[in-house]
Structure 1
């Protein structure tokens, strides 16, 4: 079995999330944006893209806490430029932006 690259897996999760977002399945979309976030943290652009989509979910579901949290996290994504980010963090406003979290087993090979 040939494994996708980190960039391909990130894009796959983002695409799944976007499809669900377009179908107004915001909770499931957010889950894939969280997975994209975990994979995207090492790259500033990918990191910001995952937060952008989480922000869009927050706007659609009218969740003020999520919207504000994502704006703050978009600014904080600059840490990726310096290799400073909490590994495994899912990126939602429901968790501390500084808290490292366990990486899901199926995503670990992409980040090793």
Structure 2
């Protein structure tokens, strides 16, 4: 998410969204982070004037808030409005490492 903030600061909207998609894959296991990424994607959609993405993200926010706790998320899904919420996608190897590394006592 920090990388997305950086990309926003240099006005690289495409790179910003790509970083948000990666954050989405990482945040799937946490309702808080899953919803947070979708909210940031919604903000991105408004700034980018993408009505399709904004509508999609409104749907995804509700979906993430109600289904993540029950692990009803599609593995690897990048979370954009251009992807079906039911579509499983491969996870980038570097993200697999991050997802499966031991969590600290936070």
1:30 and 2:45 are equivalent in the alignment: no
Residue in 1 aligned with 2:93? 105
1:54 and 2:34 are equivalent in the alignment: no
CA distance in 2, matches of 1:62, 1:85: 27
Q: TM-score w.r.t. structure 1 length?
A: 0.84
1:51-91 Cα shifts (integer Å, max 9, x gaps): 11111111111110000000100000021111110010000
SS at match of 2:83: coil
Q: TM-score w.r.t. structure 2 length?
A: 0.88
SS at match of 1:69: helix
Q: Over aligned residues, Cα RMSD in angstroms?
A: 1.0
1:44 and 2:31 are equivalent in the alignment: yes
Q: Any gaps of 5 or more consecutive residues in structure 2? A: 101-106
Q: Any gaps of 5 or more consecutive residues in structure 1? A: 1-13
The runs of at least 4 consecutive aligned structure 1 residues that moved more than 3 Å come to none
Task: Give the count of matched residue pairs.
Answer: 99
